[in-house]
Amino acid sequence: MSLTTALVIALVMIVSTLLFDRGVRPVGRGRVLRPLLVGVPIALFFTAHLVTGGTGLAVEAAGAVLGLLVGTGAALLARVGRDETTGQAVTRAGTAYFAFWIAACAVRFAFSYGAQHWFGQDVGTWLYGHGVALDDITAVITNGIVFSVLGMLLGRAAGMLVRAGTVTRIPSVAARPALAR
């Protein structure tokens, strides 16, 4: 993966997160569809051929799992509650959420940069020594990074949906009994 590609992916994730998670946002289908609309094209465009066995598959899966964990961690930093007017679940993302998200994207970009300029030979040697074919090394690294992007988006969405499901439902004003108003 070129550094330009890694930077584009990081910027798309940061900008889309800032645009769609800033402030009070309802939790619904859009919160699941947005990560798919952002992440799937990234995965389809940038994923090299899949390595379907051995250490290569393990590295690709580790990227996805790491992304899921980081995305879930980001979701834990957003406050989840109910809108008092509609009773709908909403999130409120603040500075800690965005700082965590930006830091995670920066770390992934630094890894991409490092894999090309600082420790690429070491990673390639390690992968080759653990059974990854020479022709698959670049694909494994790229796929691990891309799957971490997709995992991060899906982990964030799933984390917010799960948390929204645990928030006590507040009936809307129209649905409250007349005596309670």
- Using one digit for the tens of pLDDT, what is the confidence trace for 61-98? 999 999 999 999 999 999 999 888 888 899 999 899 99
pLDDT band at 9 (very low <50, low <70, confident <90, very high): confident
Contact 141, 123 (CB under 8 A): yes
Quote the mean pLDDT of the chain: 85
Q: Is the pLDDT of residue 181 over 60?
A: no
* Full-model pTM: 0.83
Contact 153, 108 (CB under 8 A): no
Bridge partners of residue 90, in order along the sequence: 26, 81
Tally Cβ neighbours within 10 Å of residue 116. Answer: 15
Q: Kindly state the tokens that stand for 107.
A: 């770390």
- Domain borders along the chain are 3-168
Q: Kindly state the tokens that stand for 111.
A: 């890894």
The helix, strand and coil proportions of the chain, stated in percent and rounded to the nearest 5, come to: 75, 10, 20
